[in-house]
Amino acid sequence: MKRTNWRSYKHILDRYNITKLYHFTDRDNLDSIIKCGGLYSWKACEDRGITIKKSVRSRDTRILDNQKSLQYRVRLGFSANHPMMFQSMLDMRISNPVVLEIDPAVIFESSTMYSDRDCADRNAQIGNTLDDFVRIHFQSVTKPTVYGVDEDEEDYYQAEVLVNDFIPLKYITNIANFGIPIPTNPLEFKSKEPYTSQITRNTPTAFIFLVDQSMSMKYMTTFNGEKMTLAEAVAQVVNNQINELVLRCVKASEVRHYYDIALIGYGTEAYSGWSGELEGRGFVTPQELKDNPFKRVLVREEKRTRKGIEEKEVEKVQWLEARYDGKWTHLHKAFAMARDILSEWMLEHHDKDCYPPTIINITDGEFNGRSKANMLQIANELKSMFTNDGNVLLFNIHLNSKVENKIVFPVTTDELRKSEHGKALFAMSSLLPLRYNTDISKVRQDIFKSDKRHVAIAVNVDASTLIQLMDIGTPTNIGQSL
């Protein structure tokens, strides 16, 4: 039932330009939400025998909910970047978060309650009157992220709207944006597997390469039988991969716009990695890359001939130059730059069934300039971005001039043994879809497992292995003649 004084609530929403509320969950839960016709509280799910595949609520928070008689409440926030979403990712309760946008009309329901901070907080003030609603610190909750909030206001950033029991699909305004058909009868629907969209000119994808160009990249390695710096080896591999991506777009006499590509270098600062005519650019198209190579260089490569494997000089196109002049390894700045250009790309393609963008970070050392916790937060912000078809995929590849204890696409942190840096990268990397498992098993040279999901991380690999990893990280299931 709608409150008689609902206009007073509406006046506050208009004053602060609040047009939607947010609820985060895991992509694996979308089928159930659609099948059941909307969002139920966790306790209502229990009562109805509805299985929550990946629950945001931990056992401890459920105990608190029971103590406060909030177990039948669906919790909504005012920010799409809710701190608890990232905490749930850190705790591995969810891996592919999606943010549901909720019509704020649910605020006007007479049974709806309001909390001036996380309702699990012992200091939370909770009630269902206008006075309780006004108690919310709207000047704080309307900030884009918690980082823009004063320290003494951070708790209030997590203010909540607590809807009684159930939110019907009609109030979830973006529920149709995840590629799952919404049936007339909610109990009959056809599920859609994520990460299955074809790449076409109408539904493109994007790739972002992050390349460590700090001073440690000057260390020597051997690649294709030639001594060179790690920076030079990485530049060769990345340039080859970009060229391969361009070639995949060539159909007859045209270069088709199947995806956008960005190149970011980083050391002390983060910057566009393009050289020549493309210098300073973010995303560029395959046509622009074909038309604007920075230079052509001769490199030695192993080629298979009738006489066996021979080394030959071949001409290669180059966009990325080898650098190792950064005094620091400020990965956080590269992540922030990737987030900014990707936000614009997502806005342009938000209503399309696009294969999710892929970010591949290549580094030889540990990041610095930010704490591990802060880096995990920034990485989770990237991984929480999504298209209709799935979440952004973030790969982290650690190079080593001396290949020792190589670890590729682990399933659990146990495989990383005592590598603390590897464990940090593990937490920052994406959980890969099962569709990658066939190629992963070839690289790992182990038995193919159809039910085990790997994490997009490699530690202590050489440039030759990097080539294999780049191939896996740049899938282009391009539709024929599309």
Q: How does DSSP assign 329-362, residue by residue?
A: --HHHHHHHHHHHHHHHHHHTTTS-PPPPEEEEE
For position 16, what pLDDT does the model report? 95
Please classify residue 308 by burial: count the beta carbons closer than 10 Å to its beta carbon, then call 0-12 exposed, 13-18 middle and 19+ buried.
exposed
Contact 263, 244 (CB under 8 A): no
Task: Report the pLDDT averaged over residues 72-79.
Answer: 94
Task: Report the pLDDT averaged over residues 455-463.
Answer: 92
For position 403, what pLDDT does the model report? 66
For position 481, what pLDDT does the model report? 42
For position 60, what pLDDT does the model report? 80
Q: What is the pLDDT of residues 82-96, one digit of tens each?
A: 888 888 887 888 888
User: For the whole model, what pTM was predicted?
Assistant: 0.76
Domains of the chain and any CATH numbers: 6-178 (no CATH), 205-473 (3.40.50.410)
For position 62, what pLDDT does the model report? 84
Task: Report the pLDDT averaged over residues 129-135.
Answer: 96
Tokens in use for 55? 């629950």
Residues 4-37: b if buried by 16+ CB within 10 A, e if exposed: eeeeebeeebeeeebebbbbbbbbebbbbbbbbb
pLDDT confidence tier of residue 188, bands split at 50, 70 and 90: very low
Q: What are phi and psi of 122, to 5 degrees?
A: -65, -25
Alpha carbon of residue 200 to chain centroid: 21
Q: Does residue 260 register a pLDDT over 60?
A: yes
Share of the chain above pLDDT 70, in %: 94
Between residues 249 and 447, the one the model is more confident about: 249
For position 336, what pLDDT does the model report? 94
The average confidence (pLDDT) of the chain is 89
Share of the chain above pLDDT 90, in %: 55
Contact 331, 378 (CB under 8 A): no
Q: What are phi and psi of 463, to 5 degrees?
A: -65, -30
Instruction: Give Cβ neighbours of residue 134 (< 8 Å, ≥ 6 apart).
Output: 12
For position 480, what pLDDT does the model report? 46
- Say how far apart CA 202 and CA 200 lie, in whole Å: 5
For position 478, what pLDDT does the model report? 61
- Closest by CA position to 399, among listed 456, 461, 458: 461
Secondary structure class of 290 (helix, strand, coil): helix
